[in-house]
Structure formats: C-alpha cells, structure tokens
Amino acid sequence: MGNNPASRLTGLLDRVASEHGYELVLVEVQGGHGSPLVCVYLDHEGGITIDQIAEASHWIKELLDGLKEYEAGYLLEVSSPGIDRPLVKLADFVRFAGSEAKISTSHEIDEQKHFTGTIRAVEDDVIVLDTADAEVRIPYGDVKKARLQARIDFGKKGTADDGL
C-alpha cells in the first residue's frame, strides 16, 4: 500500500469510494503532523455534482476520524478532478486516448522531461503520445505527473440570439 500518507489513504478510500459509486482519482496530503490538508479528488459517471461532493465529504470524514494519524486534526478538501484532470492510473491514459495531455517524466526521454500532445494509445505499459514534433513513447513507470490539457475555444462569438 505504500508508506506515505497519500498512498495509505488511497488504498483505504479507493475501496470505500467504489462502494459509494465513485471513482477515486487522486489523494494528496500536504503539510505536517499538526493539521495536514487532505485533498480528495472524486469523479462519478457523467460528472460529479456539488451535492455528491458534500455527501462524499461525510463518509470521507468518518474514515479519517477513525485513523490514529489524524486524531490531532486535519483539513479536508473534496472536489472534482476538474477539466485538467490528473491522469494517475494506466487505465486513465487508456480511457482518455484521443485527448490532449501534459506529461512530466522522472527521467529524460529524447532529452526532455515535459511533453504536451495527444494520447494516441497505450501499448502494454507504454503511453504513446503524439506531440507537435514527433511520436513519444513514455513508459508508465516514468510518469511523474500527468494531466489532461484543457482546450477552450474563444473563437465563437455570442450573438443576441444566443440568450447571452
């Protein structure tokens, strides 16, 4: 399960989130022992609502309150992964094939550690990314951080008929 607090919580929360019908995207624990900030990112089929986040906060709080390492207190933040969703599991890269992503690696690949491009495929445990320059093959084990790249088109102008 891992020794760091985020790994331990991920293992505990993943099962409970699934039981409640949610996908645990990511857990981050920031700060020291006094009152750490616990950030939990959840998703739900079709997207997650504010009411679902509020409901999830209750069962996440119950779980944290039962853990010895959080009896001195903590701050809890529960949210959606957002439009720049973190890509954490290999299955995330499979699910979002065809989408734009930013990927940072722990080791240089072709003398680079930061890549932006379209996820073309996942072959075994290698992510195939089409960048502006070339195809890059990134071993999943070398991924340090990855997020979907949000694309917003400001090209369309609203008209009076749009109701805007």
38 vs 72: CA distance, rounded Å: 13
What pLDDT is recorded for position 164?
47
Q: Please tell me what DSSP assigns to residue 163.
A: T
What pLDDT is recorded for position 71?
86
What pLDDT is recorded for position 38?
95
53 vs 61: CA distance, rounded Å: 12
Query: For residue 108, which amino acid is it?
Result: E
Q: Tell me if the pTM is above 0.85.
A: no
The DSSP bridge partners found for residue 109 are 112
Q: Which residues contact 25 (CB under 8 A, 6 or more apart)?
A: 41, 42, 43, 81, 85, 86, 88
What pLDDT is recorded for position 137?
97
CATH fold of 5-79 reads GMP Synthetase; Chain A, domain 3 (3.30.300)
Q: Which residues contact 67 (CB under 8 A, 6 or more apart)?
A: 12
Which residues of the chain are under the pLDDT cut of 70?
1-3, 33, 152-153, 155-164
**148 and 101 Cβ atoms separated by less than 8 Å:** yes
**27 and 9 Cβ atoms separated by less than 8 Å:** yes
Q: Please tell me what DSSP assigns to residue 86.
A: B
Which of helix, strand or coil describes residue 96?
coil
Percent with pLDDT over 90 in the chain: 74
Which of helix, strand or coil describes residue 33?
coil
Is 90-148 a domain of CATH 3.40.50.720?
no
**Can you give the residue ranges of every domain in the chain?**
5-79, 90-148
